[in-house]
A and B are shown apart, each in its own frame.
Chain A
Amino acid sequence: MMVKEIERSGITVVHVANMTAVAQSIGSNRILKAYSIPAAMADMNETPEIQAKQRYQLMSRALEVLNTEIKEQTVFQ
């Protein structure tokens, strides 16, 4: 719901969430699938080095999602 309220103001938002179905049900438009609930930004079972790469890749992907034209709510992987 916070995502929706921020987007209502005209700000473009990418919602990085593991529970993408919940993100859809509360009205987020650009949704990017995260790794897990307790560790959204990287795989908690990986080494610190790999996690750092995963964070960078996920945030790079988030920037791509922000720059993607969409016509309806969309879940990106």
Chain B
Amino acid sequence: MMKKVIMYLNQFYGGIGGEDKADYEPSLLEGVVGPSKALDDMLTAGTVTYTILCGDGYMASHTEEALEKIGRLLEGLEFDILAAGPAFMSGRYGVSCAEVCNYVHKRFKIPAVTCMFEENPGREMYPQSMYIMAGSKSGAGMRKDMPKMAAIIDKILKGEEILWAEAEGYFPRGFRWQIQLPKEQTAAKRTVAMLKKKLDGEPFETELPIDAEEMVPIAPPRDASKSRVAFVSTGGLVPIDNPDHIPSAASTRFGRYDLSGKDVLKSGEWKSVHGGYDQTYANEQPMLAMPLDAIRKLEAEGKIGYFHPWFYTTTGNQTNRVNSVRMAKEIVEYLKADDIDTVIFGSA
């Protein structure tokens, strides 16, 4: 039996109109139009039953209302997956697709697939709520992008195994699982192969690409004996029962733990949940990750003027930019409330 697909399009691709119709409120069309017809033609395991249409401007300026309205339109309908886009390099459309995919995925507990260019701001918003296929920069790439969406939607609908990001052509989602690579391509073998290529001056591809960073102004030097100091860490050290369920990788949250009255961190009371290194040492001696004894000594000697009583901790491995920035901002709010001007930051 054919599975049911619902597709989200903006006012332009839905044939409502151009920028003058960007305020178009969400509506539900039975059947297909434009890209949803193209998708329907390509799918072998599913059929597009409805198309949701919404203006990019309306979604951008009334996001919550638009999402709730879409939720009401879909209530009671049977469907197995949501498709959206492709959005190319259109920022508003990409963000709309990401918002709708995230909302529908969470409300109706179904998978969602979209497609956009790598620099589209929609790409990094909710990477774990959807598959985002790596798409073209402009609408001229529709013919290339739509088959990518159709291919992964078919795989999902057939219940086939979805491989890792590079193998399927979607952007990494920040999930981590064990896979057996063909021909025993262990990390050691791949590293040596990469190193040989580098030494021979041949082109090679890193497995850990890191984007070029914009810099922030260098904060002024501070004399810690006259400063208010806090300790923040991405080393994954948490209380032994991990009360806040800090994940071992791709973290979305941090813990905040009271150090008042403590001079040391004891084995058996703390542990590391960091999935990126051997935790044995930190479990035996938590102060290998958070050197509270040294800090207390410096505090007693007057070399640290004031030490903030809370310790902030999360895991840094595979934690994406959006979550890193958000967590840091949330931590800064706590720090500012206690007039902290100096931070010692521990990581791997």
Contact = CB atoms under 8 A, between A and B. Distances in A.
A27 B214 contact: yes
Contacts of A25: 210, 213
Between A3, A39, A44, the greatest number of chain B beta carbons within 10 A of the residue's beta carbon is seen for: A39
A16 B332 contact: no
Contacts of A58: 291, 294
A1 B328 contact: yes
B166 to A, nearest CB: 21
Nearest to B218: A29
Interface residues of B, number: 57
Contacts of A30: 218
A27 B291 contact: no
A44 B345 CA distance: 20
B218 A70 contact: yes
Interface string A48-77: 100110011011101100111111110000
Nearest to B322: A1
Nearest to A53: B294
Between B210, B285, B345, the greatest number of chain A beta carbons within 10 A of the residue's beta carbon is seen for: B345
A42 B287 CA distance: 9
B277 A38 contact: yes
B189 interface: no
B213 A5 contact: no
Contact of B235 (A8, A26, A40, A51): A40
Contacts of A9: 332, 335-336
A26 B213 contact: yes
Contact of A16 (B224, B285, B346): B346
Interface string A18-34: 11001101111110001
Contacts of B336: 9
Nearest to B224: A63
Nearest to A64: B224
Interface in B80-133: none
B328 A6 contact: yes
Contacts of A48: 285
Contacts of B325: 1-2, 5
B287 A41 contact: yes
A38 to B, nearest CB: 4
Contact of A52 (B290, B294, B295, B342): B294
B36 interface: no
A23 B282 contact: no
B344 A39 contact: no
Contacts of B316: 2
Contacts of B278: 38
Contacts of B294: 41, 52, 55-56, 58-60
A55 B293 contact: yes
Given A3-B328, A6-B345, A41-B294, 12 more contacts: A2-B234, A2-B327, A4-B216, A5-B328, A7-B216, A11-B341, A14-B344, A42-B285, A42-B291, A44-B288, A59-B298, A70-B221
Interface of B: 210, 213-224, 227, 232, 234-235, 276-282, 285, 287-291, 293-295, 297-298, 303-304, 316, 321, 324-325, 327-329, 331-332, 335-336, 340-348
9 contacts: A4-B215, A23-B347, A37-B277, A44-B281, A51-B288, A59-B291, A59-B344, A63-B298, A63-B304
